[in-house]
Amino acid sequence: MSEQERRIPEATVARLPVYLRCLVELADERTPTISSERLADMAGVNAAKVRKDLSYLGSYGTRGVGYDVEFLLYQMSRELGLTQDWPVVVAGVGNLGQALANYGGFTDRGFPVGALVDVDPDKVGTSIAGVIVRHLDELPELVASKGIAIGIIATPPTAAQSVAEKMVEAGIGSILNFSPSVLGLDPEVSVRKVDLAVELQILSFYRRRADGPASLGPDGPQR
Amino acid sequence: MSEQERRIPEATVARLPVYLRCLVELADERTPTISSERLADMAGVNAAKVRKDLSYLGSYGTRGVGYDVEFLLYQMSRELGLTQDWPVVVAGVGNLGQALANYGGFTDRGFPVGALVDVDPDKVGTSIAGVIVRHLDELPELVASKGIAIGIIATPPTAAQSVAEKMVEAGIGSILNFSPSVLGLDPEVSVRKVDLAVELQILSFYRRRADGPASLGPDGPQR
């Protein structure tokens, strides 16, 4: 990397996890190299975009051979900060919070659930997926002692803003918001909002097209 | 629309729900018109892309005025198939399935939970968010009687493939897969996979950058 890190466009960043998932599959199958065309197919984007995206990581592949899967996987993991663990705290252990705490996919991917917090006295002290639920007020100590990097909000919408503020006060700089509310926070805090209805809207787009008189055939996304 | 519907790129389709959310906010605030620049800001993309995306819907805005919010909202909803309801079935009523069944956001957005199915005799017959859990074997009748359009898989990964096949046999053509498994289905079936770890990976990218010596400042996404 040169003296200044390149600015990677946000849209490229959003595609990196998709490439990563493809590369993990390829590495599992012991595929040594991959062409930009095949990676593009797997990721559901076009090959020119794959080449452009990977060039931001400093990866250019070898003409006629493609990219080395293991090396690209390493580069991608490093770029995504996945060569280290980022413990998360889940705030709110209703059904969604419990589902997230039990979701094996987080730990596997380097995001172990380091802490769970709630304000309900019936929940504080119980154990979910091996983690004891603590009171929200203990957040600052938990962040410090467990090295929490990311806060996940799974509270009712009415509590989301105050919980987010408590996370920021406790030193958390990255928040994943599952509640339907929009958070107003210092712009230095990275916030991503997960909207579970978005994927349904995308499906309904393809569904409507398929039902319509001018059907375009089976052009829905396959992954 | 002309004699042939335009082919809308997949990346554009994926952004339509984001624009839709912005437009709903604007309409709620009674904002009559919006420039491509402001919509771009709200949606976190650049203005040229907004104009290009909206041109696929046949919307070009008015120079110096922008786009009519109400009309654009109507167009977008129609394009996304949201002018009608698409009832969904949730298969698997563990924590995630229960969280999804209780997630008010689906009904509000035109995706009422029409049915819940499971195979666990302790769950079949119970009621979640006002919907009685039925046995997976009853899926064909439920699809027909409730007009189910979309299947949501919230089962353990080992059950996902067989549940997906049962959904397709029952006439469901669109599936949203929350389980970590990859489904092998007829290419005519639209499948979208929700990977809850992707957003964490994107956050860790920005986090790593912020921690690094060559910090780029607060350039994380804000929505």
Same domain, B98 and B189: yes
Residue showing tokens 């909206």: B54
Residue B36 has a pLDDT of 92
The CA distance from B136 to B153, in Å, is 12
Helices and strands (DSSP H and E) totals, chain A: 9, 9
Task: Determine what percent of chain A is predicted with pLDDT higher than 90.
Answer: 43
Q: Tell me, yes or no, if A28 comes closer than 8 A to chain B by beta carbon.
A: no
Tell me: do A43 and A101 sit in the same domain.
no
Q: What is the pLDDT of residues B47-101, one digit of tens each?
A: 888 999 999 888 778 888 899 999 999 888 888 888 888 999 999 998 889 888 8
Contact call for A204 and B111, based on CB within 8 A: yes
Among B178, B181, B122, B180, smallest CA distance to B150 is for B178
Q: Give which of A107, A179, A196 to mutate to test B binding, by max B Cβ within 10 Å.
A: A196
Compare all CA atoms of chain A with the CA of B193 and give the residue at the minimum distance: A223
Q: What average pLDDT does range B129-145 have in this prediction? A: 96
Residues of A in contact with B104 (CB under 8 A): 180
User: Cα–Cα distance between A63 and B91 in angstroms, integer?
Assistant: 46
Question: What single DSSP character describes residue A55?
Answer: H
Which of A13, A200, A205 comes nearest B13 by C-beta? A205
Nearest to B206 among A11, A99, A190 (CB): A190
For the segment A104-116, the average pLDDT, to the nearest whole number, is 85
Instruction: Give the pLDDT band of residue A106 (cuts 50, 70, 90).
Output: confident
**Average pLDDT of the residues in A76-101:** 89
For residue B139, the Cα-to-chain-centroid distance in whole angstroms is: 22
pLDDT for B166 equals 97
CB-based contact (8 Å) between B143 and chain A?
no
- Is residue B151 included in any domain, yes or no? yes
Residue B129, H or E segment: none
State the helix-helix crossing angle for B10-28 and B47-56, rounded to 10 degrees.
100
Q: Looking at the domain assignment, is residue B74 inside a domain?
A: yes
Contact A16, A80 (CB under 8 A): yes
**What is the 3 state secondary structure string of A101-125?**
HHCHHHHHCCCCEEEEEECCCCCCC
Half-sphere exposure of A128 (CA within 13 A, CB side): 28
Q: What is the mean pLDDT of residues B97-111?
A: 82
- More confidently predicted of B119 and A209: B119
Which phi-psi region, left, alpha or beta, contains residue B11 (left: φ > 0; alpha: ψ -120 to 50)?
Answer: alpha
Instruction: Please give the average per-residue pLDDT across B99-113, as a whole number.
Output: 83
The answer, yes or no, to whether residue B42 has pLDDT greater than 80, is yes
Q: What integer is the mean pLDDT of A32-57?
A: 88
Residue A147 or A180, more confident: A147
pLDDT class for B215, splitting at 50, 70, 90?
Answer: very low
Residue A115, domain CATH: 3.40.50.720
Question: Which residues in A lie closer than 8 A to residue B189 (C-beta atoms)?
Answer: 220
- Out of A79, A110, A129, pick the residue that ends a domain: A79
- How many beta carbons lie within 10 A of that of residue B97, not counting itself? 26
pLDDT at A103 over 90: no
Q: Are residues B96 and B181 in the same domain?
A: yes
Asked whether residue B220 is assigned to any structural domain, the reply reads: no
Q: For residues B48 and B46, give the distance between their C-alpha atoms in angstroms, rounded to a whole number.
A: 6
Average pLDDT for B192-215: 71
Q: Is the pLDDT of residue A203 over 70?
A: yes
- Restricting to B residues 33-72, those with a Cβ less than 8 Å away from any Cβ of A are 44-45
Distance in angstroms (rounded) separating the CA atoms of residues B194 and B93: 17
- What range defines the domain where residue B52 resides? 10-78
Res B221 pLDDT > 60: no
B125: CB partners within 8 A, 6+ apart = B132, B133
Q: A185 and A101 in one domain?
A: yes
**Same structural domain, B161 and B193:** yes
Indicate the residue among B78, B103, B129 that finishes a domain.
B78
Comparing CA positions, the residue from A77, A10, A40, A29 lying closest to residue A223 is A40
The ipTM is: 0.72
How high is the pLDDT of residue B200?
83
A215 inside domain: no
pLDDT above 50 (res B217): no
Buried b (16+ CB within 10 A) or exposed e, A102-126: ebebbeebbbebbbbbbeeeebbee
- Please answer yes or no on whether B202 and A13 come within 8 Å at the CB atom: yes
pLDDT of residue B220: 35
Report yes or no: B195 and A17 within 8 Å, Cβ to Cβ. yes
Are residues A179 and A97 located together in one domain of the fold?
Answer: yes
Query: Do A97 and A123 have their domain in common?
Result: yes
Task: Give the number of other Cβ atoms within 10 Å of residue A187's Cβ.
Answer: 11
CA distances from A156 to A70, A160, A189, B104 (A): 42, 7, 21, 11
Q: Are strands A131-135 and A127-128 parallel, antiparallel or unpaired?
A: antiparallel
Same domain, A93 and A193: yes
pLDDT, mean of residues A58-77: 87
> Cβ of B210 and A190 within 8 Å?
yes
Q: B93 near A218, Cβ under 8 Å?
A: no
Does the structure show a pLDDT above 60 at B216?
Answer: no
State the residue for tokens 């080992």. Answer: B158
In this structure, what token pair is assigned to residue B63?
């120079």
Is the model's pLDDT at A212 over the cut of 50?
Answer: no
Residue B127 has a CB neighbour count (10 Å cut-off) of: 10
Return the pLDDT at A90: 96
The model's confidence at residue A151, banded by pLDDT at 50, 70 and 90, is: very high
Q: Which two tokens stand for residue A209?
A: 């097209």
Examine residue B124 and state whether it is found in any structural domain, yes or no: yes
A222 occurs within a structural domain: no
Tell me which of B49, B78, B107 is where a domain ends: B78
DSSP B87-98: -EEEE--SHHHH
Domain match, A70 and A159 both: no
Bridge-based pairing state of the strands A113-118 and A131-135? parallel
B28 and B52 share one domain: yes
Task: Tell me the average pLDDT across A106-111.
Answer: 82
- Whether B204 is covered by a domain: the verdict is no
Residue type, B65: V
Tell me the pLDDT tens digit for each residue of B156-179: 889 999 999 999 999 999 999 988
Residues B92 and B192 in one domain: yes
Contact B205, B198 (CB under 8 A): no
Specify whether B62 is located in the same domain as B138.
Answer: no
List of chain B residues whose C-beta atoms are within 8 Å of the C-beta of residue A99 = 94-96, 98-99
Q: How far apart (Å, rounded) are the C-alpha atoms in residues B202 and B144?
A: 40
Q: Alpha-carbon torsion A166, A167, A173, A177, what sign?
A: negative
Which residues, 6+ apart, have CB-to-CB distance to A166 below 8 Å? A136, A139
Number of domains in chain B: 2
CATH code (residue B36)? 1.10.10.10
Q: Which chain B residues contact residue A53 at CB under 8 A?
A: none
The residues pairing with B153 across neighbouring beta strands, listed in sequence order, are B91, B177
Any domain includes A174 = yes
Q: Which residues from A are below 8 Å from B172, CB to CB?
A: none
Q: Is B176 helix (H, G, I), strand (E, B) or coil?
A: strand
Average pLDDT, chain B: 85
Is A219 near chain B, with CB under 8 Å?
Answer: yes
Could you tell me what percentage of chain A is helix, strand and coil, using 3-state DSSP and rounding each to the nearest 5? 45, 15, 40
Determine the pLDDT at residue A121. Answer: 97
Q: How far apart are the C-alpha atoms of A5 and A216, rounded to whole Å?
A: 43
B residues 106-135 closer than 8 Å to A (CB): 106, 108-111
